[in-house]
Amino acid sequence: ADTLPSECDYLIVGAGASGLAFADSLLAHFPTSEVESSSPKVVIADIHSTPGGQWNDSYSFVRLHQPSAGYGVETEPLEPSSNDQVHLASREEILQYYQNVMNKLEKTHGATFVGNSKVDLSGTKQLDDGTWECQLQQHHGEEILKSIVVKKRLVDARYLQPDLPVDTKPTFVYDESKLNVVPINNIPGSNKKHFVVVGAGKTGMDVIYHLLTSSEVHPDNILWVKPHDMWITAREKIGSCMELLRDCAIQQVANNNKDENNDLSLESTFLEWEKQGHVYRLDTSTVPTKF
């Protein structure tokens, strides 16, 4: 990690997808003038030692659940080639990608990455000249408290930060003396033969698939607890999830205009999308309530 400078124009908290995408677009499009002929001074702070945000903590066999072409920063493609619209980047590819992006921002625009650092927003105070003084807790063997003056903007890029099983306690009660509850990160290399998987989102589906294929666990030895049934996007026929939801909403409004019951749910639209191959469900006897 680079040394924390005494001041900057922009302090970005979080070096994950949001933080690096903001920094990349900011520096790529920042207007120059006679007064400001160079890039603004950008500092990106993250609790991890390397860029990549949550990908640093993800399980080893995770991949993107959308084409790589729709992920990453504006000026640097993640997909291997411009013609590759089906590539799903692995964790290793994504971490290397974000390291390359950070290297580019440092070399081209003089940006600074400060790792192993936690920004204490509660300690931020405005100075007489209109700038802001921010406190950072840096961890390099020992905790060190440092400060930096922000001239223009303090950008918190952590609003989409997810709760990961590796650092989030289970929400259910269990007897620790009888059950060995571990995050998905601990599955690779495990010599266990019987598993109970709690959760039916992307992570839950990933671990089920990994157990059946890479770990060669027999299906009879896996109990899958699904709190909710969910609609699953067909990667090969979906494009953008947000575009799907938009089209579903438009179709539902059209349906409501014809239907006196004025049903506000998206159930009928999702069922139609299922017929067209855009979404599917694990249990066709149940209509999912999650997406």
Instruction: Kindly tell me if the per-residue pLDDT of 257 is higher than 70.
Output: no
Task: Take residue 16 and report the two structure tokens written for it.
Answer: 């994950």
Predicted pLDDT of residue 258: 61
DSSP string covering 178-237, please? T-----GGG-TT-----EEEE--SHHHHHHHHHHHTTS---GGGEEEE-SS-B-EE-GGG
**Encoding tokens for residue 199?**
């959760």
Q: What is the pLDDT of residue 222?
A: 97
Confidence of residue 108 (pLDDT cuts 50, 70, 90): very high
- Find the Cα–Cα–Cα–Cα dihedral 261, 267, 273, 275, rounded to 10°: -90
Q: Which helix (H) or strand (E) holds 279?
A: strand 279-280
64-100 in b/e form (b: 16+ CB < 10 A) is: bbbbbbebbbeeeebbeeeeeeebebbbebbbebbee
Query: Which class for 132: exposed (0-12), middle (13-18), buried (19 or more C-beta within 10 A)?
Result: middle
Supply the DSSP string of 137-160, one letter for each residue.
EEESSSEEEEEEEEEEEEEE--TT
What was the pLDDT predicted at 67?
83
260 or 98: which leads in pLDDT:
98
CB 102 within 8 A of CB 15: yes
Specify the pLDDT at position 270. 83
State the chain's mean pLDDT as an integer: 87
CA-only gyration radius of the chain, Å: 23
**Long-range CB contact pairs, 176-182, < 8 A, 24+:** none
Q: Can you give the pLDDT at residue 289?
A: 85
Highest mean pLDDT among 69-73, 163-167, 276-280: 69-73
Task: Considering only the C-alpha atoms of the chain, give the largest distance between any 2 of them, rounded to a whole number of Å.
Answer: 71
Other CB atoms within 10 A of residue 15 CB: 28
CA dist 79 and 83 (Å) reads 9
Residue pair 71/17 in contact by the 8 Å Cβ criterion:
yes
More confident residue, 258 or 68: 68
pLDDT digits (tens, 9 = 90+) for 140-170: 767 788 899 999 999 999 988 888 888 888 8
* Least confident stretch, 5-19, 206-220, 238-252: 238-252
CA–CA distance, 34 with 167 (Å, rounded to integer): 48
pLDDT of 267 > 90? The answer is no
pLDDT tens by residue, 18-68: 999 999 999 999 876 545 557 899 999 999 999 999 999 999 999 988 889
The Cα–Cα gap between 225 and 197 comes to 6
